[in-house]
Chains A and B, each alone.
Chain A
Amino acid sequence: MDFFDRFAIPHPSPVIYAAMVAITLTVIAIVAGITYTKKWGYLWREWLTTVDHKRIGMMYLVSALLMLFRGGADAIMMRAQTALPENTLLDSQHYNEIFTTHGVVMIIFMAMAFIMALMNFVVPLQIGARDVAFPRLNALSFWLYFWGAMLFNISFVIGGSPDAGWTSYFPLAGNEFSQSVGTNYYMIAIQIAGLGTLITGINFIVTILKMRAPGMTLMKMPMFTWSALITNLIIAFAFPVLTVALAMGTMDRLFGTNFFTTTNGGMDMLWANLFWVWGHPEVYILILPAFGIYSEIIPTFARRNLYGYKSMVASIVLISVLSFVVWVHHFFTMGQGAMVNSIFSITTMAIAIPTGIKIFNWLFTLWKGKITITVPMLYSIGFIPIFTIGGVTGVMLGMSAADYQYHNTMFLVAHFHLVIIPGVVFAMLAGLTYWWPKMFGFMLNERIGKWAFWFISIGTCVAFFPMFISGLDGQARRMYTYSEATGFGIWNMLSFAGALMLAAGFVLIVYNIYYSTRYASRDISSDPWDARSLEWATHTPVPDYNFAITPQVDSSEAFWDSKKNGHTLYKGKYKEIHMPSNSGVPFIMSAIFFVFGFAMVFSIWILAIVALLGIFACLIHRSFEQDHGYHIPVEEIKETEETLGGAKQ
């Protein structure tokens, strides 16, 4: 039985045992359900092996929503624990595990997956392409992310969660201070998911540079596509740093190297440095697609074209460059000299300039617009003031001298939640509601959606504004409890109330999905919002090949021009369409990656070697595989086009 002892949880509690039972029951229920309804074949053929960017986008979406609830449950537990002074709901070890999991899940497995979902679904449609440049790699990206996320998520029931914070600073994350396998999970699961992200980055750069519809020059791309291009460029340059840092960290933990140790020539601060060399660009990887989404939604519902297109492009490009030169502001207090801190203070504050340009451009787009308040528009309008407050406090934190006061307090926590929630979460929910009809063929209920918006936006303010005050009063972040005499109690109680409102908002969103699936009208046009860009120019549901005839473009709002200004989108006749065929290899290979990761976490070397051989076998199989895809004949295209709403000509 010695072998199995390693899988035990080092710090158990009844809640974790309950979670184990719940997970087992859920898995059994899912397997039994699929078997009973005989859906295994369907699942395999239509989803697990798909290379269609739309379906991959939907799978990212479902995973992101699941991870949102996982991370949200962690958040509620943290707020509940700190709501009262000297609370004993959680002990310090559990609290550490929960805030670590919350951070990693929300950033890497929720926010990243959400932007991947929308980019996957929307970008190829917006540029008039049939799919991404490398459809099979795209499937591999998703499955690597998925299995990486699964590996991370089983940590709390098998072997113990990571507990060194989502930043996992050494020496705390080293073997000496983190003895459980938790941090191994962190290093390896993020590595696997990160590989997927890096592949996506390259895939989308090529897609956007090479596969745009004829006439769509770079300066005629829709703004979401622009932001996706720049985001993926940042991914391609930032993620290798994370890959290397995680590999070094893994070797420190598993093989006794000394990259980040405090002895034998190791340099623990180098981890913090490398982490943030990746970590700060990562922030912009999350926020730029959000900016792109708002730049799509605001013109649509203000009924005006986007104000300052060129300055929008220039500011995202500038943000992408600046995002690589500010990382030291995450550790101003680590001991660098005043000169270094001043340099990074200035670059940090400089980011406020292009961001400010974007904010004003949105405001000028709204100015004199005929605004219709829909759910996506509500999120976009709500984003502007809340994000600005979060952003301005960021400038405060960026002043290195003052940062010695704010560093590692709840003030910081308030700041980054008030940029990430309106910046990323609002944008994702707005994008979800906005593109939902294109994805699923019906609209989400507006009334429930508006209720959810108010719960979420007010909840955000109530949950995070009090942290500014308690932070300035000296409450450190990641503190699992505090005494009554500190006076933090009232602020934390308010935060807890806000967190509950947020939770209610997210429950309403799920209810909305359920309600709309059941009752919403399926009788909607393929362009229900009267929108402007190409994704609305094709049918709903989008056929496999996206566009029967590749559209012709001569402005950034080609579809709007075709509706209002007599532009002809589709010229020519139907031609045979070449499509990529499905493949099970990405799924199988990523599943083997999961086994490999699991073996590495527990140092089961033989299994790791076998799994590694399996991965190589998949690579070799792919190298020798002859697969030229398949062709859709003209008759079939005609038939599909007629069933989906009449041939376009």
Chain B
Amino acid sequence: MKELFPRKQVMGFVFSLVLTIVALSVYFLNMSFAVGMTVLLVTAFIQAGLQLIVFMHAGESEDKGSIYINIFYGVIVALLTVFGTLLAMIWGY
């Protein structure tokens, strides 16, 4: 029975629930804008990674190399766009 039990998926599911609760706490607890945003960003990124690896099976097939490269490329593009926009429109303006 032990090898049939989807241990990784159940753990992942519990962990994603925990992450959701932590993110929700930003709304219910009284914290500063900066702390709240930090909590949201951190939990969001961990959550996205968790979903991709545990539930969407990134890294379980032969082409995990190209899958991870694509993900990293996407993350880099997203970060560059967001921080570049902040730089051009707010910080450096």
For the complex formed, measure the closest distance between the CB of A426 and the CB atoms of chain B, giving whole angstroms: 29
Q: Which of B70, B80, B92 has the most CB of A within 10 A?
A: B92
Given contacts A273-B88, A335-B93, A336-B88, contact A209 B63 (CB under 8 A): yes
CA distance A340 to B84 in the complex (A): 9
Contacts of A267 in B (CB 8 A): 89
Does residue B55 face the partner (Cβ distance < 8 Å to A)?
Answer: no
Does residue A23 face the partner (Cβ distance < 8 Å to B)?
Answer: no
For the complex formed, measure the closest distance between the CB of A365 and the CB atoms of chain B, giving whole angstroms: 28
For the complex formed, measure the closest distance between the CB of B74 and the CB atoms of chain A, giving whole angstroms: 6
Does residue A237 face the partner (Cβ distance < 8 Å to B)?
Answer: yes
Q: Known contacts A233-B70, A324-B80, A328-B84; can you find 5 more A-B pairs with CB under 8 A?
A: A237-B73, A273-B88, A277-B81, A277-B84, A340-B87
Does residue B38 face the partner (Cβ distance < 8 Å to A)?
Answer: no
How many chain-B residues does the 8 Å CB contact rule pick out? Answer: 16
Does residue B25 face the partner (Cβ distance < 8 Å to A)?
Answer: no
Does residue B76 face the partner (Cβ distance < 8 Å to A)?
Answer: yes
Within 8 A of B (CB), among A580-632: none
Structural contact, B88 and A340, CB atoms closer than 8 A: yes
Nearest chain B residue, comparing its CB with the CB of A210: B63
A273 partner, pick from B77, B80, B89, beta carbons under 8 A:
B89
Structural contact, A336 and B93, CB atoms closer than 8 A: yes
Structural contact, A324 and B77, CB atoms closer than 8 A: yes
7 nearest interchain CB pairs?
A340-B92, A237-B77, A337-B92, A328-B88, A336-B92, A324-B77, A340-B88
Contacts of B93 in A (CB 8 A): 335-337, 340
Contacts of B20 in A (CB 8 A): none
CA distance A270 to B76 in the complex (A): 21
Structural contact, A325 and B89, CB atoms closer than 8 A: no
Q: List, sorted by A's number, 29 A–B pairs whose CB atoms are closer than 8 Å.
A: A205-B70, A209-B63, A209-B66, A233-B70, A233-B73, A237-B73, A237-B74, A237-B77, A241-B81, A267-B89, A269-B89, A270-B85, A270-B89, A273-B88, A273-B89, A274-B85, A277-B85, A324-B80, A325-B80, A327-B84, A328-B88, A336-B92, A336-B93, A337-B92, A339-B92, A340-B88, A340-B93, A343-B87, A344-B88
CA distance A237 to B71 in the complex (A): 11
Contacts of B70 in A (CB 8 A): 205, 233
Given contacts A209-B66, A267-B89, contact A325 B84 (CB under 8 A): yes
Nearest chain B residue, comparing its CB with the CB of A205: B70
Contacts of B63 in A (CB 8 A): 209-210
CA distance A350 to B73 in the complex (A): 19
The majority secondary structure among interface residues of chain B is: helix
B 60-86 binary contact with A (CB < 8 Å = 1; else 0): 000100100010011011001100110
Q: Which of B66, B77, B84 has the most CB of A within 10 A?
A: B77
B76 partner, pick from A210, A321, A335, A339, beta carbons under 8 A:
A321
CA distance A344 to B80 in the complex (A): 12
CA distance A267 to B89 in the complex (A): 9
The majority secondary structure among interface residues of chain A is: helix
For the complex formed, measure the closest distance between the CB of A494 and the CB atoms of chain B, giving whole angstroms: 37
CA distance A343 to B86 in the complex (A): 14
B 30-59 binary contact with A (CB < 8 Å = 1; else 0): 000000000000000000000000000000
> Which B residues lie at the A interface, using CB under 8 A?
63, 66, 70, 73-74, 76-77, 80-81, 84-85, 87-89, 92-93
Contacts of A340 in B (CB 8 A): 87-88, 92-93
Contacts of B74 in A (CB 8 A): 237
Contacts of A339 in B (CB 8 A): 92
Nearest chain A residue, comparing its CB with the CB of B84: A325
Contacts of B85 in A (CB 8 A): 270, 273-274, 277
Contacts of A335 in B (CB 8 A): 93
For the complex formed, measure the closest distance between the CB of B64 and the CB atoms of chain A, giving whole angstroms: 12
Nearest chain A residue, comparing its CB with the CB of B78: A237
CA distance A269 to B88 in the complex (A): 10
For the complex formed, measure the closest distance between the CB of A335 and the CB atoms of chain B, giving whole angstroms: 6
CA distance A163 to B74 in the complex (A): 34
Contacts of B87 in A (CB 8 A): 340, 343
Contacts of A277 in B (CB 8 A): 81, 84-85
For the complex formed, measure the closest distance between the CB of B89 and the CB atoms of chain A, giving whole angstroms: 6
Nearest chain B residue, comparing its CB with the CB of A270: B89
For the complex formed, measure the closest distance between the CB of A396 and the CB atoms of chain B, giving whole angstroms: 21
Contacts of B84 in A (CB 8 A): 277, 325, 327-328
CA distance A321 to B74 in the complex (A): 10
For the complex formed, measure the closest distance between the CB of A440 and the CB atoms of chain B, giving whole angstroms: 35
CA distance A56 to B87 in the complex (A): 42
Contacts of B77 in A (CB 8 A): 237, 324
CA distance A270 to B81 in the complex (A): 12
For the complex formed, measure the closest distance between the CB of B83 and the CB atoms of chain A, giving whole angstroms: 10
CA distance A273 to B87 in the complex (A): 11
Contacts of A270 in B (CB 8 A): 85, 89
Nearest chain B residue, comparing its CB with the CB of A274: B85
For the complex formed, measure the closest distance between the CB of A340 and the CB atoms of chain B, giving whole angstroms: 3
CA distance A102 to B40 in the complex (A): 44
CA distance A339 to B84 in the complex (A): 12
CA distance A273 to B83 in the complex (A): 12
Nearest chain B residue, comparing its CB with the CB of A337: B92
For the complex formed, measure the closest distance between the CB of B79 and the CB atoms of chain A, giving whole angstroms: 10
